Amino acid sequence: MGELRIRMKTAIISVIGKTNVGKSTLVNALVGTKVAIVSPKPQTTRENILGILNEENKQIVFIDTPGIHRSKNSLDSHMNKSVRTAKEGVDLIVYMIDATDKNKNDEILAVQKLAKGEVPVLALVSKTDLVNFEKLYPFLSKINEVEGLVDIIPISTHKRRNLDVLLQKMDAFLQEGEPMFEEYEVTDKPLTFHIAEVIRETMLYLLNEEIPHGVAVVVTKLEEGKTTKIDAEIVCEKDSHKPIIIGKNGEKLKKIGEKSRFLLEKQLKTKIMLSLFVKIIPDWRSKPNEIKRLGISDYS
């Protein structure tokens, strides 16, 4: 007899929108664990990351995408290409709009354009806990007039407001099929990617505005055991950035290492020995070969 294939209802759902609308925070909340790093700074997510929700007889694969923004270099172009790719071959597009954005009217044009495509579109207005609903209502009314939308749902991920409504609405797009991932999997990314992202997330919080966007993190050694040993390179693109990352007498790099190790030990439930090294690759974000070598997935 051949191998018995499990049948269940599945869906692939893309979550797209401008930078800092809360896409990664939403995907983490829906999956129930942290699969993507978050920070208050724009362009935190650099490539498509899958978050996998497994429930009895149901599997939803969410595609967390980089924020849509104007390209300034090869890395930006790659990020925007990732968003375009995430619109193809999916069962539903969730377009997120930040309720606190003062320039929301241009989002109506974006939603109108998406709604004319072949993939169903659901508009999601995030961060509604931070605004006065009476002031938000006129915008919701305008979005509601867009033809072809599946629905428009105001949410607060922080307060978990309407997340249950969102999941119920997504159920309509489930189709009978075989699961795409094992029931224990929550993302498509390897452990080395997660480790590098945790270190980069720490830097987003501990360094000033400019530097984190010019930084990549590469895990060069991973030895799992009673104590997991990790070596990682922090790659920056300017000579002036290296001393800032290291700090006076190495204090800043030490703080990055301590915070990263604490987060990794908490998440991986194991003792971590972490060694960080800083390397300069001038203007790496504008060099396609370097972007690919540094492990930014699916770059072409």
Looking at residue 42, what is its pLDDT? 66
Decide if 67 contacts 45 (C-beta within 8 A): yes
If residue 115 lies in a helix (H) or strand (E), which one and from where to where? helix 105-115
- The pLDDT tens digits along the chain (300 residues) read 344 456 789 999 999 998 889 999 999 999 999 888 787 766 667 678 889 999 988 999 998 887 664 445 544 454 445 545 556 688 999 999 999 998 888 889 889 988 988 899 999 999 999 999 888 999 999 999 999 999 999 999 999 999 999 999 999 999 998 888 998 899 988 999 999 999 999 998 898 766 667 888 999 999 998 999 999 999 998 898 999 999 999 999 999 999 999 999 999 999 999 999 999 999 888 888 887 777 765 433
Structure tokens at 128: 């509604």
Long-range contacts formed by 101-106: CB under 8 A, 24+ apart: 101/18, 101/21, 104/139, 105/139, 105/142
Query: What distance in Å separates the CA atoms of residue 95 and residue 37, rounded to the nearest whole number?
Result: 19
Show the domains of the chain with their CATH numbers.
8-177 (3.40.50.300), 191-293 (3.30.300.20)
Neighbouring-strand partners of residue 276 = 232
Virtual CA dihedral for 98, 214, 212, 31, nearest 10 degrees? 50
Looking at residue 139, what is its pLDDT? 92
